[in-house]
């Protein structure tokens, strides 16, 4: 028996990665057709009732005719797509969360939706440390001066140099797959690591990591790095009061979700000099709109939501997806199903 599959990859999680992984892991015959989505050349956005998806409903509906399994990263699984795809039974999303899938509608239609937790954990942890060091050591600003032909010796002035990681305290808000890796790297720098995560059992922490309440973490941390998920509980959790509670000349890093941080308050804290620097990979609105204070606030390092971007991330996403398809074809329980 041959199972028809749609590989709806993009310019990051390539179709060839998805198809190669399927061929390695799946033992039954697959009839694979392909659809290439425009992300990241064309940014994702809201599509009908789902978020962070490529706007390709029409193309997807056509490509899903007679298809039982769809493997993708950015394809929108909307009510309209589900209604037009009666043969679909498995929709595998190669992301940490299937925000581009309407889970309630998928459940009503009998479609299982899977996701790929941890696929970008190593890449995001590494990027977090790169951003922290770039902001603290003024690497983008000093590079820009040199590239423009200016040798700015005053960067060596005491008031303009940043703190070291060794011997200082770093506070991590969130201790999941990414936070754990960040803590591990930080220990190699000789930093003290504090964690605020109400869902973590202290007995499961590394002995070198201390779990504390948020107010204590803020008061003791020279560096603050955010690694929580965006929920109703965590939205806006770091605002003006929390930033003011950090020691003077602290550094804030957010490579998690823009909703966690009050960006107006962050700009205020940078403008006033209370914060030494900040580094951001995620934003409340993406792309950053023209006229945003983020574009003119000093001592701020930014990257365009690419902390999880590595070749290994794309390969891991394809591998996790292929393993789920293999379980499905062997009538085994799915490991990472979002709508059980």
Q: Which of 127, 305, 327, 336 is flagged as catalytic?
A: 305
Residue 338 domain-assigned (yes or no): no
Q: Does residue 80 have an active-site annotation?
A: no
Helix 15-25, helix 311-329: angle, nearest 10? 40
Residue 334 domain-assigned (yes or no): no
2-38 confidence digits (pLDDT tens): 999 999 999 999 999 999 999 999 999 999 999 999 9
Q: Does residue 227 have an active-site annotation?
A: no
Q: Are residues 98 and 144 in the same domain?
A: no
Residue 107 domain-assigned (yes or no): yes
pLDDT of 203 above 80: no
Q: Are residues 165 and 258 in the same domain?
A: yes
Q: What is the pTM of this model?
A: 0.92
First to last CA, the chain: 26
Q: Are residues 110 and 171 in the same domain?
A: no
262-288 confidence digits (pLDDT tens): 999 999 999 999 999 999 999 999 889
Residue 150 domain-assigned (yes or no): yes
Residue 242 domain-assigned (yes or no): yes
In the chain, the number of structural domains is 2
Q: Are residues 56 and 125 in the same domain?
A: no
Q: Are residues 291 and 168 in the same domain?
A: yes
Whether residue 54 contacts residue 78, with contact meaning beta carbons closer than 8 Å, is answered with: no
Q: Are residues 109 and 175 in the same domain?
A: no
Residue 236: name the closest of 206, 265, 270, 196 by CA.
Answer: 265
Q: Does residue 257 have an active-site annotation?
A: yes
Residue 336 domain-assigned (yes or no): no
- The CATH number covering residue 141 comes to 3.40.50.720
Residue 337 domain-assigned (yes or no): no
Q: Are residues 113 and 146 in the same domain?
A: no
Tell me what pLDDT residue 269 has: 98
Residue 290 domain-assigned (yes or no): yes
Q: Which of 11, 65, 286, 293 is flagged as catalytic?
A: 286
Q: Are residues 161 and 251 in the same domain?
A: yes
pLDDT of 220 above 90: yes
Q: Which of 138, 181, 192, 257 is flagged as catalytic?
A: 257
Q: Are residues 87 and 148 in the same domain?
A: no
Which residues, including other chains, have CB under 8 Å from residue 7's CB and lie 6 or more apart?
Answer: 15, 18, 19, 22, 32, 33, 34, 35, 71, 72
Range of the domain at 155: 121-302
pLDDT of 55 above 90: yes
Degrees to nearest 5, angle at CA 247 with 236 and 129: 70
Q: Are residues 161 and 85 in the same domain?
A: no
Task: Write the burial class of residue 16 (CB in 10 Å: 0-12 exposed, 13-18 middle, 19+ buried).
Answer: exposed
């Amino acid at each position: 028996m041959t199972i028809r599959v749609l590989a709806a990859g993009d310019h990051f999680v390539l179709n060839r990665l998805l198809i190669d992984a399927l061929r390695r892991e799946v033992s039954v015959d697959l009839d694979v057709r392909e659809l290439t989505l425009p992300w990241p050349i064309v940014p994702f956005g809201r599509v009908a009732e789902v978020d962070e998806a490529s706007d390709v409903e029409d193309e997807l509906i056509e490509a899903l005719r007679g298809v039982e399994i769809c493997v993708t990263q950015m394809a929108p699984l909307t009510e309209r797509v589900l209604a037009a795809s009666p043969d679909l039974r498995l929709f595998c999303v190669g992301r940490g969360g299937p925000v581009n899938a309407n889970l309630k509608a998928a459940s009503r239609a009998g479609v299982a939706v899977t996701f790929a937790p941890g696929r970008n954990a190593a890449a995001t942890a590494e990027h977090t440390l790169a951003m922290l060091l770039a902001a603290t050591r003024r690497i983008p600003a000093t590079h820009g001066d040199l590239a423009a032909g200016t040798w700015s010796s005053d960067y060596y002035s005491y008031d303009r140099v940043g703190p070291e990681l060794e011997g200082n305290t770093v506070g991590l808000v969130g201790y999941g797959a990414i936070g754990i890796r960040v803590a591990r790297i930080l220990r190699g720098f000789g930093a003290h690591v504090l964690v605020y995560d109400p869902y973590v059992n202290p007995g499961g922490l590394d002995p070198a990591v201390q779990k504390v309440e948020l107010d204590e973490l803020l008061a003791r941390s020279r560096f603050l790095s955010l690694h929580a998920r965006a929920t109703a509980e965590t939205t806006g959790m770091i605002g003006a009061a929390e930033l003011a509670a950090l020691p003077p000349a602290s550094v804030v890093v957010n490579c998690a979700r823009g909703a966690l941080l009050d960006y107006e308050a962050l700009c205020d804290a940078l403008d006033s000099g209370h914060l030494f620097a900040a580094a951001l990979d995620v934003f409340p609105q993406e792309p950053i709109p023209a006229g945003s204070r983020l574009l003119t606030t000093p001592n701020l390092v930014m990257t365009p939501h690419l902390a999880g971007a590595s070749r290994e991330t794309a390969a891991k996403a394809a591998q996790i997806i292929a393993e789920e398809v293999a379980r499905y074809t062997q009538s085994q329980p799915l490991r990472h199903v979002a709508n059980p």
